[in-house]
Structure 1
């Protein structure tokens, strides 16, 4: 056997055979690590055969298969864990030994003390996801050093803005100071993040400085790209152009709706992904309900322009929504994307796709509720953490970055295919919290996320279709069907949205109280 000694605790070698284990033990090794995937080449003994021989000789064994040239931070973390836990000295092998040597070097770098780290955990983003994750972490370990990077002085309960636009909530009800929600024991770095340097475990800041971490939690939210639609930015808040996606504009929505007694009202929805995919049509339903109650709905031409192909992505909720579309006599335009707006002329231009044909159509409006296209923040999109989509590339279940084992992403900025809602962040935060604690200990993630998201579709004042679903559109109701049937309009769901959820947000989620969202442990999957 050609064994190369790396240090007193580790040696590496080319492929070994089960019969070689006796000689390995005689050479003084007390454990073996196999770094080859089974079936990599003909005649290669399976890892199980080596494991059986190791067991007969009463030495430790671990199988950490890696593909040459494709080793990840997770592989390094698993190797570091094995090197720390198995009896030493240890012999690691692969086809030639070089893969094992490189992985061991990566593992050593990962497990080295972070003497220069400013914090155990750095959280980028002080919105719903960031504050909730910090609070959940501190509930489990008050001794952690945590920093939250967030430049804003204010914190918003954004799910309430649809209700502001309908005149149900006052705008001030959805706004608190950022300081008031910052968990006690966290350092608030009131600066903007401008980049990530994950190979150096650092976050870059807008003043040219940086902050180092042992584990990074990235949740900076999503960018509302108002400038992507020519003419939109300069006409927002006037000329009948509004949006519930901005705190200062939601009250303008309410004024426009109350004052409109006839004419044409347009509502738009851009391509996915967007935060709260039901919000564009919620604005339409609540506006129509106001007009219905005041007796002017019959004089208003209501149009919903959706760039997508369907009213809602989970089909089971569509029949109940269609009843309201028909009740309000709203005209649905699918494959219709807002591409320009002339506020003073009150003309919106849409690109409408019919089969392979795309045409531009100008529509006059008396009011228009616009939802802007939404993309990953620029500094995320241009960073090593980005997926091809531009969002932070995470494993959908563990929310751990696919290339950096000490990085996690959640909320609107992560690449997971769940609906981007506050309810999703509420479910994700405890999962990330326990997985971050595992990463600090050099261990693999211990909890998983099922893609849960909730979209309370307000179809009229006093009734809501409570859509709750996970990955692949799987229904994930929080309540028994006899209490709340989410596929039908419900007054109890309205009570949940109107009265119960706001205090749960401010006094529960942001305080680390994990009511109905305890993290699901992977070990319990069975």
Structure 2
């Protein structure tokens, strides 16, 4: 049963499987492991009291979802079969198979799953955090802030609206654009778009990382008359003055900064792995969890697995990726405990439902290297085109599938690939 577990000082509690993180990745993988072996002793470390369906925040910012449908008490979604430590993690002591908690205690493990998510580095943009929530500065990436986005969209009749995207990697790489498209669609439908200067400032050099989907997105850029600025990174915000500073880079490596006035700014912060990962031996050169691309086992420590946004694998950081990763980790972790070969493989699947207008979505599904990996029937996902069926899936079906399917270990369209015996 669920327990807010505490461990007396001096007494080391040990679990067969210890999972760090109670978000989409942590709870999904716990359910997948339990589904395969109901006798395993599983524990989850998660300090939060609320669990959020983060893909819904873009829809809140577009006036489609109510905020309350994107959140539940953590106690409602935490599996009944796990021991729950409602603490934060300060360190992983992988050489002695222990995780250190923020109260100074430690928990031992036989197998460890790291799924703590990532950290939104609001401080990486000067002035942004203090500016949020007033003077037109908003972000759908901030808990509770999507409602302010929607208020701004409805009230803005003229002026300049800026939408930004930081350097990769970030969670749901399409989300910065989704906010821009839904906002522009609203302004178009209400006859004010011609009085607005909509700008997209992307730190990257392309509109989307998978070329097959770019033409459909470019069509909507043209439809809404959006001014796209590539290699333009938001570095500072002055809320009261309603100004943003962008650093632009040219092809020769030269950079310059320019100040842009705004009436609305939807800002996305740079993102990184939590400190106890990025400043440890568990991280790769970029500071992310150093995992094998296919097995999702750590490259150095064979009793550690990982999934979700903290992963250093080259897939998109989305809930859809977690849906495919959880069964792979479950099968390989159990095989590892039984001293058997690891046969389940993750092929880098990720899905990004790009909400290009209210009622249509370009459903991007792809794996490692940008290889398309369609998993839905063509009437739902018609290649690289915007469809109403994909909107129906995103708006009407995916939230229920998340709460009642994925978090419960129901692995719909998520069977792992099989590794070659020579791997």
Same fold, judged at TM 0.5 (above): yes
Give yes or no for contact 1:224–1:374 (8 Å, CA) kept in 2. yes
Give yes or no for contact 1:197–1:384 (8 Å, CA) kept in 2. no
Give yes or no for contact 2:31–2:79 (8 Å, CA) kept in 1. yes
Cα 1:154/1:225, change in 2 over 3 Å: same
2:44 paired with 1:172:
no
Write the distance in 1 (CA, Å) between the matches of 2:379 and 2:68: 36
Write the distance in 1 (CA, Å) between the matches of 2:38 and 2:133: 45
Q: CA deviation at 1:482?
A: 5.1
Cα 1:525/1:423, change in 2 over 3 Å: farther
Q: CA deviation at 1:124?
A: 0.3
**Residues 211-226 of structure 1: pairs in structure 2 closer than 5 A:** 211-226=107-122
Once the two structures are superposed, what CA deviation does each residue of 1:62-98 show, in whole Å capped at 9, x if it has no partner?
A: xxxxxxxxxxxxxxxxxxxxxxxxxxxxxxxxxxxxx
TM-score, normalised relative to structure 1 = 0.77
Q: Please, which of 333, 339, 346 is the counterpart of residue 442 of structure 1?
A: 339
Report the secondary structure of 1:439's partner residue: helix
**Residues 272-311 of structure 1: pairs in structure 2 closer than 5 A:** 272-311=168-207
Question: Could you say which residue in structure 2 is the equivalent of 1:195?
Answer: 91
Report the secondary structure of 1:203's partner residue: strand
2:232 paired with 1:342:
no
Give yes or no for contact 1:457–1:466 (8 Å, CA) kept in 2. yes
2:79 paired with 1:183:
yes
Q: Please, which of 297, 301, 304 is the counterpart of residue 400 of structure 1?
A: 297
Write the distance in 2 (CA, Å) between the matches of 1:214 and 1:441: 12
Write the distance in 1 (CA, Å) between the matches of 2:140 and 2:107: 35
2:127 paired with 1:231:
yes
2:151 paired with 1:244:
no
Q: Please, which of 459, 464, 469 is the counterpart of residue 356 of structure 2?
A: 459
Please list every run of 5 or more consecutive structure 2 residues that lacks an aligned counterpart in the other structure.
Answer: 1-11
Question: Could you say which residue in structure 1 is the equivalent of 2:157?
Answer: 261
Report the secondary structure of 2:329's partner residue: helix
Q: CA deviation at 1:443?
A: 2.6
Structure 1 outlier segments of 4+, above 3 Å: 480-483, 523-526
Q: Please, which of 312, 316, 324 is the counterpart of residue 220 of structure 2?
A: 324
2:257 paired with 1:386:
no
Once the two structures are superposed, what CA deviation does each residue of 1:143-183 show, in whole Å capped at 9, x if it has no partner?
A: 11011000000000000000000010011100011111111
Write the distance in 2 (CA, Å) between the matches of 1:482 and 1:505: 22
Give yes or no for contact 2:379–2:389 (8 Å, CA) kept in 1. no
**Residues 389-428 of structure 1: pairs in structure 2 closer than 5 A:** 389-428=286-325
Question: Could you say which residue in structure 1 is the equivalent of 2:7?
Answer: none
Write the distance in 2 (CA, Å) between the matches of 1:342 and 1:273: 25
Give yes or no for contact 1:196–1:384 (8 Å, CA) kept in 2. no
Write the distance in 2 (CA, Å) between the matches of 1:348 and 1:453: 32
2:256 paired with 1:359:
yes
2:52 paired with 1:156:
yes
Q: How well do the aligned residues superpose, as a CA RMSD in angstroms?
A: 1.3
Report the secondary structure of 2:277's partner residue: helix
Question: Could you say which residue in structure 1 is the equivalent of 2:328?
Answer: 431
Question: Could you say which residue in structure 2 is the equivalent of 1:369?
Answer: 266
Report the secondary structure of 1:319's partner residue: helix
Give yes or no for contact 1:171–1:247 (8 Å, CA) kept in 2. no
Write the distance in 2 (CA, Å) between the matches of 1:247 and 1:497: 20
Report the secondary structure of 2:179's partner residue: helix
Write the distance in 2 (CA, Å) between the matches of 1:332 and 1:363: 14
Q: CA deviation at 1:484?
A: 2.4
Write the distance in 2 (CA, Å) between the matches of 1:180 and 1:499: 21
Report the secondary structure of 1:118's partner residue: strand
Please list every run of 5 or more consecutive structure 1 residues that lacks an aligned counterpart in the other structure.
Answer: 1-115
**Residues 494-505 of structure 1: pairs in structure 2 closer than 5 A:** 494-505=391-402
Number of residues paired by the alignment? Answer: 411
Give yes or no for contact 2:380–2:390 (8 Å, CA) kept in 1. no
Write the distance in 2 (CA, Å) between the matches of 1:209 and 1:117: 9
Once the two structures are superposed, what CA deviation does each residue of 1:277-317 show, in whole Å capped at 9, x if it has no partner?
A: 00000000000001011100000000000000000000010
2:412 paired with 1:515:
yes
Question: Could you say which residue in structure 2 is the equivalent of 1:139?
Answer: 35
Write the distance in 2 (CA, Å) between the matches of 1:452 and 1:519: 11
Cα 1:379/1:307, change in 2 over 3 Å: same
Write the distance in 1 (CA, Å) between the matches of 2:389 and 2:398: 12
Write the distance in 2 (CA, Å) between the matches of 1:231 and 1:280: 19
Write the distance in 2 (CA, Å) between the matches of 1:524 and 1:510: 31
